[in-house]
Amino acid sequence: MAPKRKDPSEFDFLKKLALDKGAVEAKVIPANQIVIEDRVVLKCRSGCPSYGKKLTCPPFVPTVSEFRKILKNYTHALLIKFGVEAEADDEVSRNYLRFQYDPNASKEQKEKVTKFLSDHAKDRSRIHLAVLELEKAAFTQGYAFATGLFGPCYLCEECNVKNGVCIHPTMARFAEHAVGVNVKKTTEKAGIPIRFPFQKKPDRIALLLID
């Protein structure tokens, strides 16, 4: 049986907290408006350097089919857009993965992407903590199954994949795309689209599932 619908206004306290924590936009949407596609995780398998190297990424996370079933137990989600401080020029924004791993990339290109990723790591850490605070705030107000989605995870320099046990289980969360969320389509549907490829500064999106 589907969960009983709630008045979205009861989650206004979470929207306010999100904005207080640095979000540039926050919007409560029906959970069934989150766009889930099987093809999203194909990008994880074909080109993402985190694949198989993080316990919060495929193949260690719920499958797309499993997540579709899980999502049916939620009535709403808080969609949050965060701004960042890290900047990159057009060349880096369109090629940062290639510059990071291509041995033929120039020294200047590698230095640019290294600086961008270093600066962005601070953004990710700030946003990650904000998502956890939002999840806790929802939990303390009686939404026991509130769960944040944000990633990929960078809590550790190297994930404890070999032993199969996360050493930060209370902090680590799955990335939205890791479970099949098409972030671009979901944000467009919600009226707060993201720019991709990004220009100068990337938009960072998080989801808080609430019921």
pLDDT band at 4 (very low <50, low <70, confident <90, very high): low
Which strands form 204-210's sheet, in the order they lie side by side?
23-30, 76-82, 204-210, 147-149
Taking CA atoms, 158 is separated from 30, 51, 74, 139, 153, in Å, by 36, 13, 33, 30, 10
Residue 41 contacts by C-beta under 8 Å, 6 or more apart in sequence?
58, 64, 177, 178, 179, 180
pLDDT digits (tens, 9 = 90+) for 35-59: 999 999 998 888 788 899 999 999 9
Name the residue with higher pLDDT: 114 or 208: 208
Q: Which residue has the higher pLDDT, 94 or 180?
A: 180
Q: Mean pLDDT over all residues of the chain?
A: 90
- Which of 54-58, 87-91, 173-177 has the lowest average pLDDT? 87-91
Quick one: pLDDT at residue 88?
82
Query: Which distant-in-sequence residues (6+ apart) come within 8 Å of 40 by Cβ?
Result: 64, 177, 180, 181, 182
- b/e sequence 76-91, b meaning 16+ C-beta within 10 Å: bbbbbbbebebebeee
Reduce the DSSP state of residue 137 to 3 states and report it.
helix
Q: Measured between alpha carbons, how far is residue 92 from residues 60, 96, 119, 183, 201 in Å?
A: 30, 5, 14, 21, 11
Q: What confidence score (pLDDT) does residue 209 get?
A: 98
Q: How confident is the model at residue 98 (pLDDT cuts 50, 70, 90)?
A: confident
3 pLDDT more than 60: no
What integer pLDDT is reported at residue 5 of this predicted model? 59
pLDDT, average across residues 124-137: 95
